Chain A
Amino acid sequence: MSAQLSPRPRNTSHATPRPGSPNRGDSARARLTVAPEVARRRLRARLLMWAAALVTVASLFTLVAFHVFAAQSAFTLERLSKERTNEQLRYERLREQVASLSSAETVIAAAAKLGMVQGGTVVSLSLPSARPAALPPGKPPVDSPGSSYGKAKSALDAAP
Chain B
Amino acid sequence: MRRLGVCSALLILGFGALAARVGQLQLASGAKYKDLSVELALHTVPLTAQRGSVFDRNGRDLAMSIEKTTVYADPTLVTDPVAEAARLAPVLHADEHALLQRLSDKGSAGSPRHFVYLAHTIDDGVARLVQALKLPGIGFVPESARSYPAGAVAASVIGRVRSDGPGLDGVERQYDRLLSGKPGELVVEQDPLGHDIPNTQRTRVDAQRGTDVVLSLDEDLQWQAEYSLLDQVKATGARSGMAVVLDVTNGDVLAMASVRGATATAAAGVAGPGDNNAPLTDLFEPGSTNKLITLSWALEHGRVAADTKFAVPDSIRVDPHVAPYRDAEPHRGAPDGIEHWTTADILRESSNVGTIKIAQRMRNQEVADGMRAFGLGEPTTIDWPYQPAGLLLSPSRYYATGKYSTAIGYGVAVTGMQMLDAFATIANGGATRPPHLLDATIDAKGARHSAVVPAGSRVVSTHTASVMTQMLEGVVASGTGACAAIPSYVDAGKTGTAKKALATGGYGDVATMASFIGFAPADHPRFATLVVLDENNLSYGGEVAAPVFSEITQFALQQYGVDPTDLTNTQYSAARATAAAAGASCALPHGSDLVAAQARLQARQARAQSPGAVAAKPAAVAGGVTSVPAGSTAGAGTTADSLPPDPSKHT
Q: Are B573 and A89 in contact (CB under 8 A)?
A: no
Asked if B338 is at the interface of the complex by the 8 Å CB criterion, the answer is no
Q: Are B591 and A104 in contact (CB under 8 A)?
A: no
Asked if B589 is at the interface of the complex by the 8 Å CB criterion, the answer is yes
Listed stretches B112-120, B277-285, B562-570; interface member: B562-570
Q: Are A130 and B478 in contact (CB under 8 A)?
A: no
Residues of A close to B152: CB separation below 8 A: 105
Give bound CA distance, A85 to B150, whole Å: 25
* A147, chain B: closest CB distance, angstroms: 7
Q: Are B551 and A96 in contact (CB under 8 A)?
A: no
Interface size bucket, A side? 35 or more
Listed stretches B60-68, B75-83, B158-166, B350-358; interface member: B60-68
Give bound CA distance, A149 to B570, whole Å: 8
Asked if A126 is at the interface of the complex by the 8 Å CB criterion, the answer is yes
With both beta carbons as reference points, the residue of chain A lying nearest to B150 in the complex is identified as: A103
Picked from B220, B223, B577, B589, the residue with its CB within 8 Å of the CB of A146 is B577
Residues of A close to B571: CB separation below 8 A: 149, 152-153, 156
Main secondary structure of the interface of A (DSSP, over half): loop
Q: Are A92 and B473 in contact (CB under 8 A)?
A: no
Q: Are B568 and A104 in contact (CB under 8 A)?
A: no
Given the known interface contacts A99-B150, A100-B149, A122-B551, the answer about A145 and B590 at a Cβ–Cβ threshold of 8 Å is no
Q: Are B590 and A92 in contact (CB under 8 A)?
A: no
Interface size bucket, B side? 35 or more
Q: Are A124 and B572 in contact (CB under 8 A)?
A: yes
The proximity string for B residues 142-177 relative to A, scoring 1 for CB distances below 8 Å and 0 otherwise, is 000001011111000000000000000000000000
Given the known interface contacts A103-B153, A126-B487, the answer about A92 and B593 at a Cβ–Cβ threshold of 8 Å is no
Give bound CA distance, A104 to B62, whole Å: 12
Q: Are A152 and B149 in contact (CB under 8 A)?
A: no
Q: Are A118 and B590 in contact (CB under 8 A)?
A: yes
Q: Are B570 and A156 in contact (CB under 8 A)?
A: yes
Q: Are A104 and B153 in contact (CB under 8 A)?
A: yes
Residues of A close to B60: CB separation below 8 A: 99, 102
Give bound CA distance, A68 to B627, whole Å: 93
Of B61, B147, B567, B568, most buried by chain A (CB within 10 Å of CB) is: B568
Residues of A close to B227: CB separation below 8 A: 104
B→A interface (CB under 8 Å): 60-61, 64-67, 147, 149-153, 219-220, 223, 227, 470, 473-474, 477-478, 487, 490, 551, 566-574, 576-578, 580, 587-594
Which 10 pairs show the lowest CB-CB distances between chains A and B?
A: A145-B577, A99-B149, A118-B591, A149-B477, A99-B61, A100-B149, A104-B223, A105-B151, A124-B487, A143-B573
Taking A143-B568, A152-B477, A160-B567 as known contacts, 12 extra A-B pairs with beta carbons closer than 8 A to each other, sorted by chain A number, are A92-B66, A96-B64, A100-B151, A117-B591, A117-B592, A119-B590, A122-B588, A145-B573, A145-B574, A145-B576, A149-B570, A156-B568
